[in-house]
Chains A and B, each alone.
Chain A
């Protein structure tokens, strides 16, 4: 049996604004190492909400979350931050690159923060990630000098810098045109195949989902198919 990277056990979440509305109901599933999983469902069914919980950024929920077999509930803010830093890579719909830093530095920042390698080594690794994504020639540009697709690839490179256990994406291709979406999908695919990278990607794009190894389908805050 392959290794379990992420486990959600009976996760429930409600918003209390202005009245209590349950958004996530009894979410239970696991993700194994090397899996490429997509999450689909109608707009408003709670996909993003779930992803924020799984990414440890949202701690206001019931149920249990394990990442790398470690229980996330009760961890302190600082400990969760270092888990995100070391074990989780993010790609959002928006790229969230820091305009004050060049592309290379943007990719390096979480690596320097981790402090596992010397800065020089982090730089070398960042260049390698950029090379995988085919944008190593843009390394010294500032983010606002790049196209939308290029920015998103830089964001993916940044997510990869610490060799995370899992990459989570919330509609990472949502802002991209057909061709760029295709490229990003190919990159994800290559990551699972060549580097055995685990991916959990929320998407609206059913065609995108159909090409992943496993689809989790949500409806009204429940998992209806996985």
Chain B
């Protein structure tokens, strides 16, 4: 009953000064709209950059680093006095992961693993006339790569599935292809470091967005690569793992390192500097949004002060006829919150529309083949935060004038008449 009455009085005071109230509300609308747009855009950018690196980076990578045998001959002959050993070379299987099939099987059964993609990397030379260009061919399981790391998004020409369907085929990095003047259907000659030669048919071009990468990287199927190396089908150099929860990657890497006796690297370690940029962009958006809101808050503070000044008489008689100080305070806080709520609501709507416009602005860059317009993130989170912020700011802006109003002494006002 009481709250309804307070709302009615607040409404009538608001309507009596609707122009100024609207200006105050527009201030809130503007700041919330900017906040939503900015945050959506910045997060869109973050997501895009995440996509550029994180989406294509395995959460855990298993591989064999070529390194000296930890069990050195000098250890074996301990206790025999002086031992002179020369020219110890790395030994073993090179980069091959031992028992790769068993490891793949174990990973498939692990519930924390979203998927695995085995890989064979091989250093090659692309033979162009007299000149050899160094390169790396990644032998991949096309389907797994596509599913886990969006391989197809970066194949700008040709069909990724052809890697599997066409024997001895290759997808060239775009920059490398340009150097070789090779296009789809052409045949390129590659030489492995051991001197084996092989002609491969170009079935597609690949553009990662990182120019340096595109100069050297090419893709072929696992079988083609293994054949190139003269290795059996069990030869695997990398196992790329995508986990269900990216945050558990370091723990998983540690575990696999021990379990499978391979090297294991997690994404957080590999890209530790990456988060910083994202954080800075978020902080900037929040700072701008909050600054605008504070300015809008002063607008509300002003209009309320003006209303209270104008309505001294009304406040006095309300108090004389039985409204308590807190009733009066609630009236003015209701006014502030109404301005904040309506302003905020329109802010969300305009913010959404503005985001939509930004989302349509063409944004073509050679480095990002999948991006055609500015990236925008429409997360509901920003809208909730925007609304909460506008309510909190207007509440704070309204509280001080409202408290002042609640302390007005009716005797002083009435005596003044």
**B322 to A96, Cβ gap below 8 A?**
no
Q: Which residues of A contact B324 (CB under 8 A)?
A: 77-78, 81-82
**B13 to A100, Cβ gap below 8 A?**
yes
Interface string of B309-338 (1 = CB under 8 A from A): 000011011111111111100000000000
Q: Say which one of B54-62, B76-84, B409-417 lies at the interface with A.
A: B409-417
Q: Which residues of B contact A97 (CB under 8 A)?
A: 317
CB distance from B7 to the nearest CB of A (A): 12
Q: Which residues of A contact B414 (CB under 8 A)?
A: 52, 57, 92, 94, 96, 170
When C-beta atoms are compared, the residue in chain B nearest to A56 turns out to be B320
Q: Say which one of A109-117, A130-138, A195-203 lies at the interface with B.
A: A109-117
Q: Which residues of B contact A55 (CB under 8 A)?
A: 320
Q: Which residues of B contact A112 (CB under 8 A)?
A: 1, 5
**A57 to B2, Cβ gap below 8 A?**
no
Q: Which residues of B contact A57 (CB under 8 A)?
A: 319-320, 409-411, 414
Please give the number of chain A residues whose Cβ is less than 8 angstroms from any Cβ of chain B in the complex: 30
A158 part of interface (Cβ distance < 8 Å): yes
**B326 to A96, Cβ gap below 8 A?**
no
**B417 to A113, Cβ gap below 8 A?**
no
Give the contacting residue for A78; candidates B9, B326, B411; CB below 8 A: B326
**B1 to A90, Cβ gap below 8 A?**
no
Give the contacting residue for B322; candidates A52, A81, A100; CB below 8 A: A81
**A158 to B325, Cβ gap below 8 A?**
no
Complex Cα distance, B322 from A170, in Å, reads 18
B16 part of interface (Cβ distance < 8 Å): yes
List residues of B (201-255) whose CB comes within 8 Å of A's CBs.
none
Complex Cα distance, B316 from A170, in Å, reads 15
A84 part of interface (Cβ distance < 8 Å): yes
**B320 to A90, Cβ gap below 8 A?**
yes
A86 part of interface (Cβ distance < 8 Å): yes
B12 part of interface (Cβ distance < 8 Å): yes
List residues of A (101-126) whose CB comes within 8 Å of B's CBs.
101, 109-110, 112-115
Known contacts being A92-B414, A100-B13, A100-B16, is A110 close to B1, with CB within 8 Å? no
B283 part of interface (Cβ distance < 8 Å): no
Could you list 20 examples of A-B contacts with CB < 8 Å?
A: A48-B415, A52-B415, A57-B409, A57-B410, A57-B411, A57-B414, A77-B325, A81-B323, A81-B325, A81-B327, A84-B320, A85-B321, A90-B320, A92-B414, A94-B417, A100-B15, A101-B12, A110-B322, A113-B2, A158-B321
